[in-house]
Amino acid sequence: MREPHGPWAVVVNPTKFDDLAGVRTRVARSCAEHGWPEPAWYETTAEDPGEGQARAAVADGATLVCPLGGDGTVRAVASGLLGSGRPLGLLPGGTGNLLARNLKLPLDDLDAALAVALTGTEVAIDVGEVTWDGGEPAVFLVAAGMGLDAEMMAGVDPRLKRRVGWLAYAVSGIGAVFRLGFGVRVTAERQRAVSQHARTVLVANCGELTGGLALIPDASLDDGALDTILASPRSIFGWIAIGANIVSRHRRGHPALVRLVSSRVDVATREPVEAQLDGDAVGRRSRMSCRVRPLALAVRVGGTPSSAATR
C-alpha cells in the first residue's frame, strides 16, 4: 500500500451531483480505509471550470489533485497541473469519462476509482494543445474536432444526456449525419497536404471515444503523436462503409477515411464550422492548429508502472 505523502485535493463540479454531501462522505470513508487524510475540496464555477482551482490546490501543497466531474472538468484540472509535477487522479463524475476509458480505469465506481488514485502508480501521458483561429492555446486529452462530432456535441439535449448518458449524442447525431460537409485543407508535418470536402476532422490523442467506439485502435497516450482522421462519405452508404471499416479495426480500409499521424497538424476550413474539445462544443471555428506535448502529464493508474499505450 502506498504510504501517505502529504495533503491532496478534489476539484469538484457541484452541478454534476444531487447529493454532494453524500459524495464527500464516501470519499472520507475511502480515505480512512486507505490511511489517507481527507482531501481539501475546491468547487468549480461557471467562470473557472477547474484550472484555477487546480493551481490553487498545488499552491496549497496538494501532492495529488483529482477532478470529480465531466470531461471538461478533467481537461481544466489537467491544464492547471501542467508543469507542476503533481499527478492527476481520475474520479468518475461525467457522461463520457473519456480519459479514464482510454486508460482502462473505473468508469462508474467511485470507491474503485479512489482506490486507484490513492494507491496506484503513475504513468506519464501526452497532452494535446490546440489554437483556434489564432487565439490562446487550450489543452485537450482526448480529441479536438470540427464538423459532425462537434455538431453532435452542440446539438445534444442536456436533459436527455442526464437521463440516458452518451446515447444522447447518438440521438443528436441522427440529424447531424445528413448535413452537408465543408471544404478543408489539412497540413501535417512531413506529409503531403490534404485538400478535400469532408464531413468531420478529428485530431486525437488517443483512440477510444464516447460509447466505447475504438476509432483508432492502435493510437496511444504516450507515443508523442496525434492521429488526425478525415471522414468524407458522400452518402448514407458511405457512412455504413466507414462504420464497417472502424468495426473491423481498419482492416478493410476505405477511401472516404484518411488518417495522418504527426506531432503537429493544421486544419483550415473554407467557412466556420462547429468545433469541439474533449466532447465540449466550443462554437464555430475556421482554423485549428494542434501540437502534442509529449509525456506532459502524470496520471494515477492501477497495477505496476507500465506504458499507457498498453493499458
Q: For residue 210, what pLDDT is reported?
A: 66
- Domain assignments of the chain as residue spans, ordered by start: 9-119, 129-294
User: Sorting pLDDT into bands at 50, 70 and 90, what band is 217?
Assistant: confident
pLDDT at 136 exceeding the cut of 90: yes
pLDDT tens profile 68-88:
999 999 999 999 999 999 999
Topology of the domain comprising 129-294: Tumour Suppressor Smad4 (2.60.200)
pLDDT at 178 exceeding the cut of 90: no
Q: For residue 69, what pLDDT is reported?
A: 94
pLDDT tens profile 256-276:
688 899 999 999 999 999 999
Alpha-carbon distance of 203 to 267, in angstroms, equals 9
Specify the pTM.
0.86
pLDDT tens profile 181-203:
899 999 998 898 999 989 899 99
Percentage of the chain modeled with pLDDT above 70: 78
What class does CATH assign to 9-119? alpha beta
Q: For residue 152, what pLDDT is reported?
A: 79
Mean pLDDT over all residues of the chain? 86
Q: For residue 165, what pLDDT is reported?
A: 58
**Residue 88 near residue 261, CB atoms below 8 Å:** no
**Residue 92 near residue 107, CB atoms below 8 Å:** yes
Average pLDDT over residues 51-67: 98
Residue 88 grid cell: 492527476
| Nearest partner of 261 among 213, 304, 203, judged by Cα | 203
**Three-state secondary structure string covering the chain:** CCCCCCCCEEEECHHHCCCHHHHHHHHHHHHHHHCCCCCEEEECCCCCCCHHHHHHHHHCCCCCEEEEECHHHHHHHHHHHCCCCCCECCEECCCCCHHHHHCCCCCCCHHHHHHHHHHCEEEEEEEEEEEECCCCCEEECCEEEEEHHHHHHHHCCHHHHHHHCCHHHHHHHHHHCCCCCEEEEEEECCCCCEEEEECEEEEECCCECHHHCECCCCCCCCCCCEEEEEECCCCHHHHHHHHHHHHCCCCCCCCCEEEEEECEEEEEEEEEEEEEECCEEEEEEEEEEEEEEEEEEEEEECCCCCCHHHC
pLDDT at 218 exceeding the cut of 90: no
Average pLDDT over residues 211-228: 86
